[in-house]
């Protein structure tokens, strides 16, 4: 569909008259990353998986995007186009950061359209990513992607890289080759205490116990700053927890959304 910043691709599934759930994917990915989760979510919800303008999916920018505020406004424009007056918002990794920024923008409206917020291993949302050998390995592969080495490389991001669908791995490597250093990556900075305290809607934060981008400190800050928050650490999961422990994540998200 056309928007002010270019073409948007939105993949829709689920009952037409069900509550809307909007999905925001991670960096160097597209809506295909939701393949382990979509069937469970779409059983009782109308799901809208949006390809980000900065991602590798079908959305295509026709204008320069110079800051994240533009992207947040673009998502709000999409909600208008899709006539989403009420929704649940789910974001993974960079999508989690963006979902938090959108929730902040919506809080300035007379009535926020977001009913519940789900943050899945949100990147740089509650704290800076700590430098580690795993991070160095991930950066090196990002700059030198090799399909034959992808399983070994993804050990820093996934607890079960061998279980990831090979079609998705092809897309992941292709995205790295096309765009090794994503636009606006330097704008992913942790939110301030004041900003996080403005997010008053019910929020679920899930991270993996081997999450390279989050740790217990992330959960503790989320619990301290967010007004209504449920936190959980998923065992045997890395940053790709939606793939590593799909059943546990699906169950936790669905239980939270149904309250």
| pLDDT at residue 132 is higher than 80 | no
| Residue pLDDT, tens place only, 59-75 | 999 999 999 999 999 99
Instruction: Kindly compute the dihedral angle of the four CA atoms of residues 75, 81, 87, 88, in this order, to the nearest 10 degrees.
Output: -30
Judge whether 199 and 103 are in contact, CB under 8 Å. Answer: yes
Does the predicted model carry a pTM greater than 0.75? Answer: yes
CA angle 236, 118, 5 (to 5 degrees): 120
| Residue pLDDT, tens place only, 9-34 | 999 999 999 999 999 999 889 999 99
Task: State how far the Cα of 221 lies from the Cα of 236, in Å rounded to an integer.
Answer: 22
Provide the angle, in degrees to the nearest 10, between the axes of the packed helices 68-81 and 94-107: 70
| Residue pLDDT, tens place only, 148-207 | 889 888 898 999 999 999 999 999 899 888 877 778 888 899 999 999 999 999 999 999
Q: CA 138: distance to chain centroid?
A: 18
| Residue pLDDT, tens place only, 201-253 | 999 999 999 999 999 999 999 999 999 999 999 999 999 999 999 999 999 99
Task: State how far the Cα of 109 lies from the Cα of 74, in Å rounded to an integer.
Answer: 15
The H helix count followed by the E strand count for the chain is 10, 10
The pairing of beta strand 87-92 with beta strand 20-24:
parallel
CA angle 112, 105, 1 (to 5 degrees): 85
Instruction: Kindly compute the dihedral angle of the four CA atoms of residues 171, 177, 183, 188, in this order, to the nearest 10 degrees.
Output: 70
């Amino acid at each position: 569909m056309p928007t002010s910043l270019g073409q948007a691709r939105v993949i829709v599934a689920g009952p037409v008259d069900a509550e809307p759930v909007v999905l925001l994917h991670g960096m160097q990915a597209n809506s295909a990353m939701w393949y382990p989760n979509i069937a469970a979510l779409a059983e009782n919800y109308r799901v809208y998986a949006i390809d980000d303008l900065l991602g590798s999916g079908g959305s295509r920018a026709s204008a320069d995007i110079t800051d994240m505020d533009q992207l947040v406004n673009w998502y709000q424009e999409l909600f208008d186009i899709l006539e989403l007056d009420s929704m649940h918002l789910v974001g993974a990794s960079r999508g989690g950061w963006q979902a938090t920024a959108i929730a902040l923008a919506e809080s300035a409206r007379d009535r926020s359209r977001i009913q519940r917020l789900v943050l899945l291993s949100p990147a740089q949302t509650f704290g800076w990513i700590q430098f580690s050998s795993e991070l160095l390995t991930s950066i090196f592969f990002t700059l030198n992607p090799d399909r034959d080495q992808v399983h070994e490389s993804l050990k820093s991001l996934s607890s079960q890289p061998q279980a990831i669908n090979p079609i998705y791995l092809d897309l992941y490597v292709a995205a790295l080759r096309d765009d090794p250093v994503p636009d606006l990556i330097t704008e992913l900075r942790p939110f301030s205490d004041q900003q996080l305290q403005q997010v008053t809607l019910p929020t679920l934060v899930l991270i993996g116990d081997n999450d390279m981008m989050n740790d217990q400190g992330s959960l503790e800050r989320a619990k301290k700053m967010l007004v209504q928050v449920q936190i959980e650490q998923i065992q045997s999961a890395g940053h790709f927890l939606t793939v590593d422990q799909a059943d546990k994540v699906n169950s936790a998200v669905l239980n939270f959304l149904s309250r």
